[in-house]
Amino acid sequence: MKDDTILKVTNLGVRFDGSGVLNNLDFSVSRGDVLAIVGPNGAGKSVLFRALLGLIPYYGNIEWAKNLKISYVPQKFSIDRELPLSTEEFLKFKEKGNNKIINVLKSVGIGAEHKNDSEHYMRHVKQHVLDQRLGWLSGGQLQRVLIAWALLDNPDVLLFDEPTAGIDVGGEETIYNLLKKLHYERNFTMMVISHDLNIIYKYADNVLCINKDMVCYGIPAKVLDPSSLAKLYGGEAGFYKHESHG
């Protein structure tokens, strides 16, 4: 493994009930890079993350660099509105110190409109986020809290499974801009499953295209060609075509 390579995957596959869910994936990730994973529903994208985290059996080889701290934000983390768990209690499962919790909430943009008035900020965040039941948060608030939860470990690697799932279209770009800002500030390596090719062109260093098998891997502008998109999405390829916004 090269010095700047933190993950090398060789001939990776996953089988469920004798059926191949993933087959023969080969790719690597360099320190500080953003890798996007794309493919249609059922392509095995979330299964790939679970294999990388050692949560399911797989064949082939997954080689992480030593002593990495890896955090994971799952897709569609739904919480019962009646669950008697506040946001503060949830965060304190991982971190007892109020200062670190407040700092990480600031970093993910919670209460950003009050950040210049520390007393007002604390009062706002306490009332509208920390004291609220986790299941009462809006989709955007919950996603920011989950990102804050992941950041409390000061991870070297962050895995995001569809970070804008359940968020309205207007909020999608905001979440990706937040991830870009955090990536720049904290210099972690990021792997993100996304359905939006425009986002991938904008933010990713490399893209891994899978539809059970590996369709393409490399720099988005080079490998996301019409042939690859047709293999990924079939007749829907035109819908996913990259559009330049100038």
Whose tokens are 């804050």? That residue is: 148
Cα separation, 180 vs 170, in Å, equals: 17
24: helix, strand or coil: strand
| pLDDT tens profile 49-69 | 999 999 999 999 999 999 999
Question: Using 50, 70 and 90 to split pLDDT, how confident is the model at 118?
Answer: confident
| pLDDT tens profile 126-142 | 888 899 998 888 877 88
| pLDDT tens profile 10-40 | 999 999 988 889 999 999 999 999 999 999 8
Q: Work out the angle at residue 210's Cα, subtended by the Cα atoms of residues 207 and 211, and round it to the nearest 5 degrees.
A: 155
Global pTM reads 0.85
Specify the pairing of strand 157-161 against strand 19-30: unpaired
Q: Lowest-pLDDT range, 131-145, 168-182, 227-241? A: 227-241
Domains delineated in the chain? 5-69+157-240 (3.40.50.300), 87-144 (no CATH)
Strands (E), 59-105: 59-64, 70-73
* Predicted local distance difference test score (pLDDT) of residue 168: 58
Q: Work out the angle at residue 146's Cα, subtended by the Cα atoms of residues 56 and 84, and round it to the nearest 5 degrees.
A: 100
